Amino acid sequence: MAEVKIARTETPNYGVVPFLGPDMFRTNLLGMNPFTLMRRFGDELDRVFGTAAETAAWRPAIEVKREKGKLFVHAELPGIAKENVKVAITGDLLEIEGERKGETEEKRNGYMFSERNYGKFYRSIVLPEGTNAEKAVAEFANGVLEITVPVPEVNPAKTEIPVLAATEKTEVKH
């Protein structure tokens, strides 16, 4: 696999929207600039309900898995050259961006068929606190980007919750 260089930047990243879900709530929302929080929320609503710009954008499939002290990111980027892929860590975000450019032209039996395929994409993934960005590695081969980032092990306390049948429901007094 060819290596993709990961650059670490320290500039603030206002307006970058992580996926609204557990990762967003792992960040310190109370310490966040309220304008940044409002922008993130607005951008997330636009993404969920679809704006004209968002629906026209190309969003490659990305899988994120955390295992054995590492965060593994698998991105499918068919038709993109390694030179058109950029990976960076800015603050607590892993950023993946790129551009695909493609043209096909075929002439047969007096007919001509041509197709153009262009599109830029940008994805960001919130990294857990204590991530070792200097040891992150990105490899790209055959349209697949694999990123490995060392992250601290987390062993949260586990509490079993009994599952009751509907007839066993107990009333909770407030």
Taking only the tens place, the pLDDT of each residue in 115-149 is 777 778 888 888 888 888 899 999 999 889 999 99
Strands 85-90 and 70-76: what pairing? unpaired
Torsion sign across C-alpha atoms 146, 94, 26, 135: positive
Highest average pLDDT, of 19-28, 34-43, 155-164, comes from 155-164
In sign, the C-alpha dihedral spanning 105, 106, 111, 114 is: negative
Number of C-beta neighbours around residue 86 at 10 A: 16
Percent of residues, the chain, with pLDDT higher than 70: 69
For the full predicted model, state whether its pTM sits above 0.85. no
Residues 86-104 have a mean pLDDT of: 87
Whether 75 shows a pLDDT value over 60: the answer reads: yes
Q: What's the pLDDT at 100?
A: 81
Q: Return the CATH number of the domain spanning residue range 2-154.
A: 2.60.40.790
For the chain, give every domain's residue range: 2-154
Cβ-proximal residues to 151 (8 Å cutoff; 6+ apart), any chain: 66, 69, 70, 71, 127, 128, 130, 131, 132
Is 70 or 50 the better-scoring residue by pLDDT?
A: 70
> Cα separation of 57 and 121, whole Å?
7
Residue 102 has pLDDT above 60, yes or no: yes
